[in-house]
Amino acid sequence: MRKWFLLLLFWSGRFDVLDAMRWIAGHTDAEHVYAYIEHEFPGEELPQLEAEYSIDRIYRREQERKINNNVPNSKDGIDALYDIVLKHFNVASLTMVPESEWADFVLSLRKDEKFHLEPHTVYAENNHDVIGVNISFVMHETE
């Protein structure tokens, strides 16, 4: 029953519920829960879910850059992925690129294993109490 509930929770909340899943399952590391998810979603389902999450985060990053006059707040994995998408379409912003086109490109990048997602548990200063989960965008070499 717990297994079914955890899978249902992930399916409905995607990556935003990893910390809750970790807590419900009694794990200290989100990586353990994610390994379980990887095992239960073989084939193309998990890359599709990771691509959908990435598309949402790219859209959010695009909005943040509009607010900040195209200056990134930080330089992390999502920025690297965002820059790859911009370079592919030879644009400075995704505003004029149809969302379906750049979303399909992100999906193809994930299916071609040009990037993947890794959850990381964030601990308090005492290195014991969990305060959250971060999702890292891990980029692989592109040709």
Cβ pair 38, 46 in contact under 8 A? yes
How deeply is 29 buried, as exposed, middle or buried, from its count of CB atoms within 10 A (0-12, 13-18, 19+)? middle
Average pLDDT for the chain: 88
**Measured between alpha carbons, how far is 119 from 49 in angstroms, rounded to an integer?**
14
* Most confident range, picked from 7-16, 24-33, 68-77, 108-117: 108-117
Cα separation values, 23 from 6, 13, 26, 63, 73, Å = 11, 15, 5, 32, 30
**pTM to 2 decimals?**
0.83
Beta-bridged to residue 137, according to DSSP, are: 117
pLDDT in tens, 38-50: 888 777 788 999 9
Is residue 142 scored above 80 in pLDDT?
Answer: no
**Measured between alpha carbons, how far is 30 from 36 in angstroms, rounded to an integer?**
10
Is residue 51 scored above 70 in pLDDT?
Answer: yes
For the chain, where are the E strands, in sequence order? Answer: 115-123, 130-139
